[in-house]
């Protein structure tokens, strides 16, 4: 600090104290002393690591981690059974099955958790599988449910953790079965008096995992929240004029972050984005389900975090208990107990409740996957010294790759050395080293990276309000190929052509809104907009059991709420009463979504029926980036890393966002080929990669809505993955095949050109300056975002162009704004942006 700055800071804190009741004599000296003890943490940021017993525990943790691969807290474990899930439909269904079978305990850790999330769809026909109702049933059956969610900075993100907490706590009121069986903790605190030493306004708890009965666990990129459910065809449309009960994305769950961020998420029925006017932003993600010793390691991480949050925020609360673990008693208890006080408030509860040896994986019902849990964790997030075993794993595995590196990630911000401040994570250097080594050995080697075209934040990229989004993109381009320290330039400096080794793609999806003339007439005759019908439908299927952000009464418990509900439902009745009048009770010829046409055997757009004039159909075609949210690495069809960790400093350094991931290598090998040569691939890695590539190439059929008979929508203890064998499975078996690569790049070429031609989808390589932007995509209010760019293009030409799109692959536009300053001068490197954007 500059001279005098520290004294000014503490003077400000003193003034803040005087403005509170801390100086009120009625509060008492003890309360003031406690608060001042917290303020002392500002002076001693090392307060959890300076006493002798704390130093001893830190030394023990370090000693254990040093003995483990990647310096992880967890050892390598053999014999795990692990199953992959691609996209939310299969994952959420499997979670619903597993939760319903819980007998003792459920641990859930999420960045965001929406109590009103439907785990099965369509929601109207699966109301009992709304997340809060599933948890309520388990709590009433005696299951203890422990949940940790990120306590957001309200000014920065829209997830409402207070609503999450109060809605779930209100499910089992006092005097009813299950009361006290659901406990939700929020962390960190953003109050200087409550958490003075841990002012982490821009870092988040980012983990996404579930542990059930110490028997089974889920881990990956999917939070149990709005906006994540999706199927492999990735529909953008959800307009159902012939029956709103067929909606897939009710209320807040219909979202397009590129147009509008979530608004007032505690009002579950509300949605300011009209389905009749805009498409949603599709969501691509990957997660795992496992049985085996690694379940215990995931549970241990949760217990450590629970006890830390208890100690940090709830140590005086009788409602929050301490957790202990079988196998961590005695001298090892300190591994999961962070500064447990001498006179604790709350009980000590030992888990698991029944003997550990009763678990199926402890009885020899094991699988073939060698796995290890890794994490990013530190003092502010877990009360421990920094661990960045995720970064260690990524860097080591990538650097040792022999054939290919396949990455799907929400971000790609990394460094090749110490000259790219403020970026510090080492994944970029590992990619450089792997490519240079392969290039010098004359070995075919590819790094294939699939990331979003634009970070998922709302706004036109030309606007000042989008400066933060452009800053993230700027960091990504500088990580990839702009500037002497970028990956491309560092490879080139060693005489190797990076364009022979590194290839970067995005995903896009198109659809057609089913807003026909009949539906518009239905709106006009009833005097009700479809958007109000959306709200009414959400109201009807969501009202029961959903509560407000207070601990008092339900949102609809007062007269205002009841009247609003009555108004919406009456509006829906008026709308539906006109159905026969406008002919919608007859055979409906146009479909509610045509997303299946990009998939295998999905038909052609030009052959789809449209119950209206074809010129009107053009107004209903929409496209949007298919948002890649998964955090996935596959190397050589043998090793997989999956979890919550993005490729950026926030996720990788350990001192910022908290993360949990898992490294997996299947000892069950599959006879395969690699660049035409015989090759032993790991069954788990190879089958996952093959399914992903078939989805992206459009070589998988669209998913039916009923997942009940789909093996891939069941937990791992029910059945293994259905790898969906067939000619398409065989075609993508060799990841280095020239035929596969020709289709991969060919589809990306064609898809990119069609999205450019029809929609002027941005970003684009033709936009090198902001003037180019205006020429490529002029600003006007006549046409809505995501819709066709040229209203005079013949309808049949539009249909035939869309026929050419296969799958969802497009090239990432590496020349986008290459001749323009993407972020304002001075924004790119400072403490603020380092915390948020890197």
Active site residues: 206, 208, 213, 629, 631, 636
CA-wise closest residue to 112 among 252, 304, 249, 231: 252
Task: Please provide the DSSP assignment of 393-435 as one string.
Answer: HHHHHHHT-SSEEEEE-S-B---SSTTSTT---SHHHHHHHHH
- Per DSSP bridges, beta strands 144-150 and 404-408 are unpaired
What is the torsion angle, in degrees rounded to the nearest 10, for the CA atoms of residue 386, residue 389, residue 395 and residue 397?
170
Tokens of 178: 């299950």
CA-wise closest residue to 545 among 120, 106, 170: 170
Return contacts of 673-680, CB within 8 angstroms, 24+ apart: 673/733, 673/734, 673/737, 674/403, 674/636, 674/637, 674/734, 674/735, 674/736, 675/403, 675/444, 675/734, 675/736, 675/737, 676/734, 676/736, 676/737, 679/637
- Half-sphere exposure at residue 762, Cβ-oriented, CA atoms within 13 angstroms: 23
Tokens of 323: 């957790």
Beta bridge pairs of residue 426: none
C-alpha of 374 from chain center: 18
Beta bridge pairs of residue 77: 371
452, 506 in Cβ contact below 8 A? yes
47, 21 in Cβ contact below 8 A? no
Say if residue 199 is exposed, middle or buried (CB neighbours under 10 Å; 0-12, 13-18, 19+).
middle
- 642 three-class SS: strand
- Per DSSP bridges, beta strands 216-220 and 209-212 are antiparallel
What is the torsion angle, in degrees rounded to the nearest 10, for the CA atoms of residue 581, residue 582, residue 585 and residue 588?
170
Q: Please report which helix (H) or strand (E) contains residue 284, including its range.
A: strand 283-284
* Interatomic CA distance for residues 685 and 633, integer angstroms: 10
Tokens of 328: 């961590």
- 790 three-class SS: coil
Backbone φ, ψ for residue 608 (5° rounding): -75, 135
What is the torsion angle, in degrees rounded to the nearest 10, for the CA atoms of residue 72, residue 73, residue 75 and residue 81?
-90
* Interatomic CA distance for residues 723 and 690, integer angstroms: 8
773, 765 in Cβ contact below 8 A? no
* Interatomic CA distance for residues 599 and 232, integer angstroms: 9
Q: At what angle do helices 5-18 and 29-43 cross, to 10 degrees?
A: 160
* Interatomic CA distance for residues 207 and 291, integer angstroms: 19
- Look at the alpha carbons of 82, 309, 183, 349 in this order and tell me if their dihedral is positive or negative: positive
Say if residue 452 is exposed, middle or buried (CB neighbours under 10 Å; 0-12, 13-18, 19+).
buried
C-alpha of 533 from chain center: 29
* 389 Cβ contact partners less than 8 Å away, ≥ 6 residues apart: 65, 68, 70, 71, 72, 73, 374, 375, 376
């Amino acid at each position: 600090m500059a001279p005098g700055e520290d004294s000014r800071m503490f003077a400000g804190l003193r003034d803040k104290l005087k403005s509170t009741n801390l100086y009120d004599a009625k509060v008492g000296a003890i309360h003031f002393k406690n608060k001042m003890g917290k303020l002392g943490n500002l002076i001693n940021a090392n307060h959890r690591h300076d006493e002798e017993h704390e130093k001893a525990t830190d030394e023990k943790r370090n000693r254990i981690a040093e003995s483990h691969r990647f310096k992880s807290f967890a050892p390598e474990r053999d014999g795990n059974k692990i199953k992959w899930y691609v996209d939310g439909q299969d994952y959420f269904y499997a979670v619903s099955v597993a939760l319903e079978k819980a007998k003792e305990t459920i641990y859930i850790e999420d960045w965001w958790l929406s109590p009103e999330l439907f785990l099965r769809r369509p929601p109207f026909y699966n109301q009992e599988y709304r997340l809060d109702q599933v948890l309520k049933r388990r709590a009433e059956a005696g299951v203890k449910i422990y949940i940790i969610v990120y306590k957001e900075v309200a000014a920065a993100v829209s997830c409402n953790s207070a609503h999450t907490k109060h809605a779930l706590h209100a499910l089992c009121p006092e005097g009813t079965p299950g009361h006290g069986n659901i406990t939700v903790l929020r962390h960190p605190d953003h109050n200087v008096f409550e958490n003075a030493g841990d002012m982490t306004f821009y870092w988040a708890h980012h983990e996404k995992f579930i542990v059930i009965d110490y028997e089974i666990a889920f881990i990956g990129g999917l939070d149990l929240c709005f906006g994540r459910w999706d199927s492999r065809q990735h529909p953008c449309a959800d307009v159902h004029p012939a029956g709103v009960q067929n909606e897939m994305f009710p209320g807040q769950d219909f979202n397009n972050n590129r147009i509008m961020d979530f608004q007032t998420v505690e009002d579950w029925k509300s949605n300011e984005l009209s389905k009749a006017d805009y498409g949603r932003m599709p969501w691509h993600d990957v997660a795992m389900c496992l049985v085996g010793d690694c379940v215990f390691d995931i549970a241990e991480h949760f217990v450590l975090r629970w006890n830390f949050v208890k100690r940090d925020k709830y140590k005086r609360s009788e409602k929050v208990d301490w957790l202990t673990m079988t196998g961590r008693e005695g001298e090892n208890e300190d591994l999961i107990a962070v500064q447990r006080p001498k006179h604790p408030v709350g009980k000590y509860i030992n888990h698991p409740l029944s003997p550990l040896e009763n678990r199926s994986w402890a009885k020899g019902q094991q699988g073939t996957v060698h796995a290890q849990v890794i994490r990013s964790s530190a003092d502010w997030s877990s009360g421990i010294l920094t661990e960045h075993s995720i970064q260690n794993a990524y860097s080591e595995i990538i650097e040792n790759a022999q054939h290919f590196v396949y990455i799907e990630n929400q971000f790609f911000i990394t460094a090749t050395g110490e000259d790219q401040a403020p970026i510090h994570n080492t994944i970029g250097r590992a990619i450089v080293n792997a490519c240079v080594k392969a290039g010098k050995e004359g070995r075919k080697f590819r790094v294939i990276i699939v990331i979003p075209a634009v970070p998922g934040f709302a706004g036109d990229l030309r606007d000042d309000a989008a400066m933060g989004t452009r800053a993230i993109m700027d960091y990504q381009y500088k990580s990839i190929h702009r500037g002497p320290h970028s990956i491309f330039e560092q490879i080139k400096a060693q005489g190797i052509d990076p364009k022979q080794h590194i290839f970067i793609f995005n995903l896009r999806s198109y659809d057609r809104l089913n807003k026909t003339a009949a539906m518009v007439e239905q709106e006009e005759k009833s005097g009700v907009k479809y958007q109000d019908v959306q709200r009414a439908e959400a109201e009807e299927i969501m009202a029961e059991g959903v509560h407000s952000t207070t601990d008092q009464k339900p949102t609809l418990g007062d007269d205002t709420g009841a009247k609003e509900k009555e108004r919406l439902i009456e509006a829906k009745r008026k709308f539906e009463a006109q159905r026969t009048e406008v002919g919608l009770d007859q055979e409906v010829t146009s479909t509610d979504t045509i997303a299946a046409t990009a998939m295998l055997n999905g038909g052609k757009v030009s052959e789809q029926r449209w119950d209206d004039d074809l010129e009107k159909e053009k107004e209903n075609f929409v496209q949007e980036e298919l948002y890649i949210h998964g955090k996935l690495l596959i190397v050589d069809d043998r090793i997989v890393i999956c979890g919550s960790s993005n490729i950026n400093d926030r996720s990788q350094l350990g001192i910022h966002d908290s993360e949990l991931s898992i490294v997996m290598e299947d000892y069950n090998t599959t006879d395969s080929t690699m660049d035409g040569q015989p090759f032993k691939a790991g069954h788990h890695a190879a089958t996952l990669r093959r399914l992903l590539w078939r989805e992206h190439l459009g070589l998988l059929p669209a998913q039916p809505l009923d997942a009940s008979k789909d093996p891939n929508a069941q937990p791992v203890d029910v059945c293994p993955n259905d790898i969906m064998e067939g000619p398409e499975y065989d075609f993508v078996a060799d990841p280095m095949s020239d035929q596969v690569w020709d289709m991969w790049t060919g589809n990306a070429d064609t898809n990119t050109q069609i999205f450019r031609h029809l929609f002027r989808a941005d970003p684009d390589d033709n936009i090198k300056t902001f003037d180019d932007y205006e020429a490529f995509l002029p600003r006007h209010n006549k046409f809505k975002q995501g819709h066709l760019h040229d209203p005079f293009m013949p309808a049949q030409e539009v249909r035939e162009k869309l026929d050419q799109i296969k799958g969802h692959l497009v090239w990432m536009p590496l020349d986008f704004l290459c001749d323009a300053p993407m972020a304002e001068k001075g924004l790119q490197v400072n403490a603020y942006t380092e915390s948020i954007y890197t």
